[in-house]
Amino acid sequence: MLFKDPVCGKRLQRGKAHIVIEYEGVNYFLCCPRCQTEFEHNLKLYARPELGEKAKKLTQVPHRRHS
């Protein structure tokens, strides 16, 4: 599966990304340190959940509803 670098638009394979950044429950794949810096400085601009992958952490936690 390929993920899109939200900064430069390059398509990245999971293991080929420079870094994976989790933001608001979504993992974003960045191709290089430059994109990482750009992303970190403009999170609200680049963080688009449809480009990333839902962070596993959230789905692994069992849901417990108080009802």
Residue 19 touching Zn ion (CB under 5 A): no
**Does residue number 20 form part of the binding site for Zn ion (CB under 5 A)?**
no
Q: How many CA atoms lie within 13 Å of 44's alpha carbon, on the beta-carbon side?
A: 0
Closer CB to Zn ion, 10 or 20, in the complex: 10
Would you count residue 5 as binding Zn ion (CB under 5 A)? yes
CA distance 44 to 64: 30
- Count the alpha carbons within 13 Å of 64 in the hemisphere toward its beta carbon: 2
**Does 21 interact with Zn ion (rule: CB under 5 A)?**
no
Binding positions for Zn ion, rule: CB under 5 A: 5, 7-8, 10, 31, 35
